[in-house]
Amino acid sequence: MMKRHRIEPQIPPNPAPHVIDWLGQLGFTEAGGMGAVPLSWREIAEWQRLTGVPLSPFEAKLLRNLSSAYLSESRKAEDENCPPPFGYDSLEEARVRASFRAMRD
């Protein structure tokens, strides 16, 4: 619906741009037997080892949760009437918001 009416979605604030940069370097998702799947722990560990970026356990969990949320929302977004993932109380949004709140504290 937004595409049909040429409405640009608003981008939510990003309190941790470096984490999203890491996720982009990792690739957001990885290939599985039947299509895209969330990033595996092995993929995250190998990226960390090869890049020399020291991840805390919290950051590794956050990357995996963000990958899972990204994949879930990208599948929902295949429907052109899908509302934006922010501004709505979805389980994925709640998990991501909680992860970012914990990182700030």
- Report if residue 5 sits inside a domain: no
Domain count along the chain: 1
Mean pLDDT, all residues of the chain: 84
33 lies in a domain?
A: yes
Residue 30 counted as domain residue: yes
Q: Is residue 89 part of a domain?
A: yes
Distance CA 31, CA 66 (A): 16
% the chain with pLDDT above 90: 54
Q: Does residue 97 lie in a domain region?
A: yes
pLDDT band per the 50, 70, 90 thresholds, residue 47: very high
In a domain, residue 9? The reply is no
Range of the domain at 97: 17-104
pLDDT at 50: 97
| Domain contains 1 | no
54 in any annotated domain: yes
pLDDT at residue 101, as a whole number: 75
Q: Is 91 exposed, middle or buried (0-12, 13-18, 19+ CB in 10 A)?
A: exposed
What pLDDT shows up at residue 77?
A: 83
pLDDT of residue 4: 66
pLDDT tens, position by position, 7-23:
666 677 888 899 999 99
